[in-house]
Structure 1
Amino acid sequence: MSCLLGIKTHTALSMIVEVGDFERFEKAPKFASFLGLVPSEDSSDTRVNRYSITKAGNSHLRKLLVEVAQSYTRGNVGHKSVALKQRQKGNPPEVIAYADKANERLRRRFYKMTLNKGVSRDVAATAIARELACFIWGMMTEAGKVSVRGKAMAKKFVRYKEGSDLYSIGMTKFQALAKEAGAVYKIDGMALVNCKVFEKFLETFREF
């Protein structure tokens, strides 16, 4: 969690201790609702009116995230301070990539809201806190971890040769070709491998 901008040891520990099991929230918006960071609503059959956040949740964590959101109100998009790099050091690459994506998106969104749309800084910071809560949920739950691993896997490449020419292919495409070649197939939902076909298929591929 400390891979995210503005979240240090105290904030991370507070989140973990007070939330406990993040898995008890089925989706990210439900976690944001638990923190009282979702807008209140007055709806009828013909109209939907949304107002300020409900504040009907854990006030301590809500205040912490709103304070953390202030870190996204300054600095250049994509910039990583020495302190942030140090906090990220030693974490899995996919977690760092997930945090970097969140940091860039939230900082860019804040500038877009305040500079392009004329939204006040306080309202924009609260919106950033709400989305940050969703990113935290994704980082701390198994559903989020699966998503992170899936995206990281999609970025891997397989290098292969055809004659003297060297090519690169995405891991997802590689897996699809293996299936088409009959090297990998499914029976009753179970993945099976034809070892002879697969070994021959792999002769021209080398993952890096």
Structure 2
Amino acid sequence: MRNVALDLGVREVSFCEVAQQQVVLRRTVKSLKALEDVLGPSAPPATVALEACREAWVVHDQLSSWGNQVLVVDTTRSRQLGIAQHGRKNDRIDAEQMARAVERGAIPLAHVLSAHRRTLREQLAVRRVLVETRASYVTTVRGLVRACGEQVPSCGTGNFVPTVRKTRLRDETRNLIEPLLQVLEALDPQIARVNAALEALCAEEPVITRLTTAPGVGLVVAAAFVSVVDDAKRFRDAHQLASYLGLVPQEDTTGGRKNQRLGAITKQGNAYLRAMLTQAAQSILRLAGDDAMRRWAQTIEKRRGRRIAVIALARRLSGVLWAMWRDGTVYETSEAAAASAKGLRLKVQSAERQALAMQRAAGKARKRARSIDKGLRTACTSPAPTRSTARRAAMN
């Protein structure tokens, strides 16, 4: 097959084809459509390499439908291909280096997500932006009110706007924050709609419900885990997954050093999932009752402090979730006593235990559904801002 590489830019696509380590064809075009004559169904099939990026999955699907074999390059190891060697890096050179690597068979591959997991990740991305925007606005409103010498009572984020409306504030303060409150009133219904869409997507993934049986793991954490991991069997063990997620410590033991030197975690991989697992770990440490993972983390907290205990628990939780997915099991405190993937693997759960755990997960789902329904009803019934309110906001 022909050896081809594409460097996908925002405005241009660089094409390079190599045969016997010699460049036989170069092109720079505005879009993939302009390359249909050399990569389309009527052209001889080619092995095409391209770096993982925002549009990589769409380009992968298009080229595959044209009959080509597509290799998505892991960008964290692109320097192995000679990219940016000797300080020379542009789209044409990058495409040539990748094409030569295709001919040598030395492409470090990135995992290509399945279509449904891509949709799940995109929905999570929309929710993430909306939730972060709401949190930023809430923080800003609270800060402005405090700067005016007043205070908003403590409340949940979902009840923030009604709480502010009921709080006695001076007219100057209320006029100052009114534009932000109007944006928050528009955000809450949108978040409810996105949550409903996410719930529907997760209903098609039985593994997500199974993962929510673990403590501290709700729908969003489980969905993020599934959308990133995609296939549990592509990881050899829990340690390899933790490394993929950037939850393992940095290491420097070269140069004949006898003692292992470890630093902070690498923070490689998906930052959003890493943050979700960290939040889940903090939630586990705050839980009441007896849980094996919580007890294990508390012993670390006594020796090393809470921050290290949270990260260690997040790493351990990722392994437990991976093992549950791999073995088709649900979370049980007794099985997680060793807090390891191996401990989960050694036992076969009874159907009765699994049914009880799934009932608890169904209870979580009903609670989420009630919250989503409440948000959607609010979206349908919330009145539009009055003309006087809009006028005051415009004046400020």
Q: TM-score range by the shorter chain?
A: 0.5 to 0.7
1:106 to 268, 290, 293: 293
How many Å apart are 1:49 and its aligned residue? 0.3
CA distance in 1, matches of 2:343, 2:233: 14
User: Aligned to 1:48, what secondary structure does the other structure show?
Assistant: coil
Instruction: Quote the residue 1:136 is aligned against.
Output: 321
RMSD of Structure 2 on Structure 1 (CA): 2.5
CA distance in 2, matches of 1:143, 1:2: 13
More strand by share: 1
Instruction: Quote the residue 1:12 is aligned against.
Output: 222
How many Å apart are 1:33 and its aligned residue? 0.7
More helix by share: 2
**1:67 to 2:252 alignment:** no
Give the TM-score of the pair, scaled to structure 2: 0.30
CA distance in 1, matches of 2:346, 2:222: 25
User: Aligned to 1:141, what secondary structure does the other structure show?
Assistant: helix
Contact 1:41 1:49 in 2 (8 A): yes
Q: Percent identity?
A: 31
Instruction: Quote the residue 2:347 is aligned against.
Output: 151
CA distance in 2, matches of 1:150, 1:62: 27
How many Å apart are 1:51 and its aligned residue? 0.8
Contact 1:72 1:110 in 2 (8 A): no
Contact 2:212 2:222 in 1 (8 A): yes
Instruction: Quote the residue 1:206 is aligned against.
Output: none
CA distance in 1, matches of 2:237, 2:329: 10
2:233 to 23, 26, 36: 23
User: Aligned to 1:152, what secondary structure does the other structure show?
Assistant: coil
Give the TM-score of the pair, scaled to structure 1: 0.55
Contact 1:77 1:108 in 2 (8 A): no
User: Aligned to 1:47, what secondary structure does the other structure show?
Assistant: coil
Higher RCO, 1 vs 2 (CA within 8 Å, ≥6 residues apart) = 1
CA distance in 1, matches of 2:317, 2:343: 17
User: Aligned to 1:108, what secondary structure does the other structure show?
Assistant: helix
| Structure possessing the higher radius of gyration over alpha carbons | 2
Structure 2 counterpart of 1:109, one-letter code:
W
Structure 2 counterpart of 1:111, one-letter code:
Q
Aligned pair count?
Answer: 127
CA 28–11 in structure 1, closer or farther in 2 if over 3 Å, else same:
same
How many Å apart are 1:153 and its aligned residue? 6.7
Contact 2:297 2:310 in 1 (8 A): yes
Contact 1:113 1:124 in 2 (8 A): yes
Structure 2 counterpart of 1:43, one-letter code:
T
Contact 2:323 2:345 in 1 (8 A): no
CA 25–149 in structure 1, closer or farther in 2 if over 3 Å, else same:
closer
Unpaired runs of 5+ residues, structure 1, are: 79-103, 155-208
